[in-house]
Structure 1
Amino acid sequence: MKKGLLSLAIGGFGIGMTEFVMMGILPDIASSLDISIPVAGHFISAYALGVVIGAPLMIAIAGKYPPKRILMALMAFFTVGNALSAFAPDYHYLLATRFLSGLPHGAFFGVGAVVAGRLATEGRQARAVSLMFAGLTIANIIGVPLGTYIGHHLNWRFTFMIVTGIGIITLLALRFWLPNLQASPSSGFLKELKLFTRLKPWLIILLTTIGTGGFFAWYSYIAPLLTEVAGFSSNSITYLLIIAGVGMTLGNITGGRLADRFSPINATSGLLLCMSLALMTLTMAAHYKIPAVIMTFVIGALAFSIAAPIQMMMIRAARGSEMLASSITQGAFNMGNALGAYLGGIPLTRGFGYTAPDWVGATLAFSGFVIALAIIAVDRISERKLKTAGA
């Protein structure tokens, strides 16, 4: 791996750890700050809100600067936000610092995806983007379990200190390993916003939100599914999440290769259809331990295999506005997080079993597949128009 890509992957590791570890240390934070677990769940929402708001905001502020300077500034912001979280004295302070920590998330991955594509050799751009996202998936194998263990057995504040340390390491890696690329040509932020007067970017945002919502409808309730339905002990959940994380990592790399070989939209449509089928299969397999473990790996792999293809799809649809569009996609992933968790929880509140969210997830993933078919149709219509105009 090129050192420049490695520096992006390290940053992705830190971002992935701080985003997903909150689910594991939520009870510890709630106890420490003397609040209920549902109230502590606001910290997850605050981070996601920061991602959605920060993606376009940060690009608007920094879009004209060279990518290296932008990435270092974003990572410095991220590092300070997590350092402040480690010393949060109460609920309101931590809520604010979690929001601040989320602001650079989307912009970092958005700019990083464009940089990864520029560092890659021709025909391997999606593969390079997947290497950056590998840091986020590896965080689910190493960083999240480690941070959860430390939060349980030592202090949750140490977990944020570790993330802060990773942020500092990323800053050094960016400083010494990332090449000094020139700033991308820009016609100004307001003119770049005209990108969203076209249909295709909106379809990609919709696909990302709904399609990835299928994954989060499953993943948000994976613990009770594995304990109450499959019959695993609560002590086994950490190891089962590691299995899911391994699947995410391998799927992420595979998705990049598929996008380079078959095109991003073809890879995305096929993978979403497979994810829908896998989630439906899980509703039956979840009653047996070994099949449940296998499907945990498979669904994790399928879910993260669409990350690089979707990112490349948006970048190619946004010539001249690549960093803005790429960062917006990260906001859509987080909207998918909120949508999937919310819709997946509805059948549970109405008394259905813990396989019900998987049916919701299968429906969302299939809906994403349908939207992908619509994007393919839009592309074909555009090609026909170009041929007609050329003739």
Structure 2
Amino acid sequence: MKHVPVPVQIERRFAPTALMLGNLVTGCSVLAPAGMLVELSAGLDVSVRTAGLLITFGAIVLCIGSPVTAWLTSRIERRTLLTATLAVLALTNIASAFAPDYASLLAIRLVMLAVGALYTPQAAGTAALIVPEEKRGSTIAYIFLGWSLAAAVGLPAITFIASRYGWQGVYAAIGATSCVSFLLLAWRLPRGLMGAPVDLKTWAAIGRNPMILLLLLITTLQMSGQFVVFTYMGPLLARLTGAGPDPIALVFATYGVCGVIGTVIATRIVDSWGAWKTSMLFTSVLLAGLGGWALSAGIYPLMAVSVAVWGIGFASTNSMQQVRLVGAAPMLASASVSLNTSVLYIGQAIGSATGGFLYARDLLHASGYVATAFVALAVVTVILTKPRKA
């Protein structure tokens, strides 16, 4: 992978922050429906489960789009590629605010996410071009902090805005934030950053690498388990505990703030602990949180505490997956990280579809146990990937 020297140190210093804020916008764009399912259901005159399909269908587009767009755009200069992606996110979020019906909103969302699939893996790959190798793990974890902030700040804000100003106000706000992020990235990211081209030989090399395949399986299981519950967390809390919009927003905020805390901890310890030990720690925390949700279903304070524990694990496990993939095969990082993003969205699709099936049949308590089973399998797979000297 070609390392391009950055001529101005301040650009190099703040470029990771610009990339991280782009992930915040991407995360809000992807997760937005989860924070306002009830408002979407009422405003568009569809069922809660149908509103939830915005996440399921979006995840399918993302899982297909991530490797395809990585292949099609691998020879495009990274600053141009990433700023163009954020510009499209800004335009499609603003267009969503004016969608007249569910079908129009779904169509706009699919276009939004087909392009948005580019951002997270390419941002991670770009990090390898702007920092020394010894700082690569902590920088990638820091860039993924944007997703934690999307949950910590974005989801509670989405729930708050939607409950008072409608779902249209949410999309307008995300569109405005996307414009700011676009300008910041165009200002701070250095020019001339080129990653390694992705071709058919790259995909074949990944298919022959058992470690990469196991890491991709871990991501799929982790995300499947979380999205069984996460997609319908607001409606589940409302039906199981009688919680209103503000207590639900508080749980989303707790989830996100704890996600930020977990990511900060992971960023601090990964370079000294190593990626496997850090991944094992936070996947186990993830399992404890979802297990707590399952066992405490119906008791709001205990469910909120369980979500806090779950939150500590959610973003840090994702960032560690990216770190481990880059470390497993640095020359394949652009493709392997895009595939990781793809299977992440496969996990979202599997989890949200499973959660929708259970919710539609009033199997509300079962959701937590199914989610826990997925993550337990992820823990077992992490153990199988232990390096000999870990």
Query: 1:126: Cα distance to partner?
Result: 2.2
Is contact 1:268–1:310 with CA below 8 Å preserved after alignment? Answer: yes
Among residues 42, 47, 50, which one is paired with 1:36 in the alignment? 47
Task: Map residues 1-391 of structure 1 onto 2, 5 A cutoff.
Answer: 2-186=13-197, 188-198=198-208, 199-223=210-234, 225-229=236-240, 232-233=243-244, 235-286=246-297, 288-344=299-355, 352=363, 354-376=364-386, 379-380=387-388
Query: 1:149: Cα distance to partner?
Result: 2.8
Identity across the alignment (%): 22
Query: 1:227: Cα distance to partner?
Result: 4.3
Q: What is the identity, as a one-letter code, of the residue corresponding to 1:368?
A: A
Query: 1:228: Cα distance to partner?
Result: 4.8
Change (3 A) 1:217 1:46: closer
- In the aligned structure 1, how far is the partner of 2:356 from the partner of 2:33? 19
The two structures, once aligned, show a CA RMSD in angstroms of: 2.6
Is contact 2:52–2:232 with CA below 8 Å preserved after alignment? Answer: no
Change (3 A) 1:75 1:366: same
- In the aligned structure 1, how far is the partner of 2:150 from the partner of 2:207? 36
- In the aligned structure 2, how far is the partner of 1:329 from the partner of 1:245? 22
Is contact 2:255–2:311 with CA below 8 Å preserved after alignment? Answer: yes
Change (3 A) 1:366 1:324: same
Query: 1:295: Cα distance to partner?
Result: 1.9
Change (3 A) 1:72 1:330: same
Worse-matched range after superposition: 65-74 or 22-31 = 22-31
Deviation readout 1:68-116 (Å, 9 max, x if unpaired): 1221122222223223222223333222110111123332111111222
- In the aligned structure 2, how far is the partner of 1:45 from the partner of 1:274? 26
- In the aligned structure 1, how far is the partner of 2:58 from the partner of 2:113? 5
Change (3 A) 1:81 1:155: same
TM-score normalised by the chain length of structure 2 = 0.87
TM-score normalised by the chain length of structure 1 = 0.87
Is contact 1:192–1:320 with CA below 8 Å preserved after alignment? Answer: no
Query: 1:347: Cα distance to partner?
Result: 5.5
Change (3 A) 1:365 1:320: same
Is contact 1:218–1:361 with CA below 8 Å preserved after alignment? Answer: yes
SS at match of 1:2: helix
- In the aligned structure 2, how far is the partner of 1:36 from the partner of 1:183? 45
Is contact 1:270–1:369 with CA below 8 Å preserved after alignment? Answer: no
- In the aligned structure 1, how far is the partner of 2:326 from the partner of 2:205? 11
| Structure 2 gap ranges (5+) | 1-11
Worse-matched range after superposition: 108-117 or 41-50 = 41-50
Change (3 A) 1:228 1:99: closer
- In the aligned structure 1, how far is the partner of 2:243 from the partner of 2:36? 20
